[in-house]
Amino acid sequence: MEKKPEEVVLDAIAIQKIVPHRYPFLLVDKIIELVPMKRIVGIKNVTQNEPFFLGHFPGHPIMPGVLIIEAMAQTGGVMLLNTQENPGDKLVYFTGIEHAKFRKPVRPGDQLRIEMQMIKFRAPICKMAGQTLVDGQLVCEAELSAALVDRE
């Protein structure tokens, strides 16, 4: 039986077993596609209740671009940590951003589709390319670098 792309591969509980992030900084709700060390697709539902909307901007809520990039980094981190035997013993340190572009604002009610692809992995460093879409339209793109490190 072929799996539909919208099926959940990892739900919020499974994600929390892989990455250390928690509310209000966990920015991935579910993973719907995962090809280990090659490709991952995550979903983030953006609601009016997000704490950052209180100040960004009152009366005109827009998700900060840096948090869209962080959602991309966390989704990529799930791909990287999911291959580790004991993901709780590791952390993914975000080490760089290149070619970041913000194409459209993200507002309450939007659903982010975060697509990340591994470009290069030479332990402990990796580079990923990603794009974030809302309703099929590109809202953000970037190349992200990270280091896989032991948790102290």
Q: Which residues are catalytic?
A: 56
- Using only C-alpha atoms, the chain has a radius of gyration, in whole angstroms, of 15
How many C-beta atoms lie closer than 10 Å to residue 22's C-beta?
Answer: 8
Bridge partners, 39 (sequence order): 35, 117
Contact 16, 92 (CB under 8 A): no
The residue among 8, 143, 10, 6 whose CA lies nearest residue 87 is 10
Burial string for 25-50 (b: 16+ CB within 10 Å, else e) reads ebbbbbbbebeeeeebbbbbebeeeb
100 φ, ψ (degrees, to nearest 5): -75, 130
Both tokens of 69, joined, read: 């990039």
